[in-house]
Amino acid sequence: MHIYGRKPVEEQLLRQPRHVEALWVKDSMPTGPLQAIIRLASAHRIPVKSVPGRKLSEMVGPVNDQGVVATLSAVEYAEFDDWLATVDVAAHPVVLALDELEDVANFGAILRTAAAAGVAGVIVPKHRQAPVNAAVFKTSAGTVGMVPIVRVTNLNLALRDLKDAGFWVCGLDAAAPVPAWKQDLVMPLVIIVGSEGEGIRPKTLETCDIRLSYPMANGVESLNASVSAALLCYEAVRQRAAKA
């Protein structure tokens, strides 16, 4: 897999250089803006290859690659049981569960929020879910890998296992009478993020212990999936800070 752009590539080299197999730099690009990235790659003995701009386009397509592409090894997904064994439920962690989210831009933005908010893991289904690709890396600004991505065959079974482990499951539902800021969220919490078009599937919504809403004005039906995830994550963060 390839990622592109100075910030995503630099973040990858800083945080997870072991996954970088090679660095490709546009030969006509002034070395100044890329010097820090090249030094990082060299420090980790990662091959740096100077190539024509068309080579980068062949690798990642007609995007703003900013003159640098990195080749990565396959993304490592965490196994559900192994991941859950490492989670300190008593610390009231927050977990995100994506219910068939298919837009890579939303996926990347949610991974960035998860990293920034200190989320303990992001659970994704194996099917009908956006892959971790170059666009996700770009949108996440290099934060992919900071939070475990846990892939499961059946999301609803995973949610039930989390409930058995002491988590409460929360979903946004436009019909819910309780706004998010009026609900106590200081508990081991799973936040479900629905798909862009359909939202949370009815069967998944049935697993929720808590259903919350955000009031909409001017006839707006709903918020973008990544915006909803960010608002609810940081409401949980705010409440934890207030009780600390």
Q: State the average pLDDT over residues 34-54.
A: 91
pLDDT band at 4 (very low <50, low <70, confident <90, very high): very high
| Listed residues 36, 51, 72: the one ending a domain | 72
Asked whether residue 120 carries a pLDDT value surpassing 90, the answer given is: yes
**pTM summary value:** 0.76
Domain tally, the chain: 2
User: Domain limits at 197?
Assistant: 80-243
Q: What is the CATH number of the domain that holds 30?
A: 3.30.1330.30
Examine the pLDDT at 47 and tell me if it is beyond 70: yes
- Binned at pLDDT 50, 70 and 90, residue 74 comes out as low
* Same structural domain, 150 and 55: no
Using pLDDT thresholds of 50, 70 and 90, give the confidence band for residue 134: confident
CATH number at residue 219: 3.40.1280.10
**Residue at which a domain ends, from 15, 42, 72:** 72
108-142 core/surface letters (b: 16 or more CB in 10 A; e: else): bbbbbbbbbbebbbbbbbeeebbebbbbbbbbbbb
CB 34: neighbour CB atoms within 10 A? Answer: 21
Question: Do residues 143 and 22 share a domain?
Answer: no
Query: Whole-number mean pLDDT of the chain?
Result: 90
Residue that is written with structure tokens 């989210």 in the block = 101
- The pLDDT tens digits of the residues spanning 212-234 come to 988 889 988 888 899 999 999 99
Whether residues 118 and 221 share a domain: the answer is yes
Of 128 and 63, more confident: 63
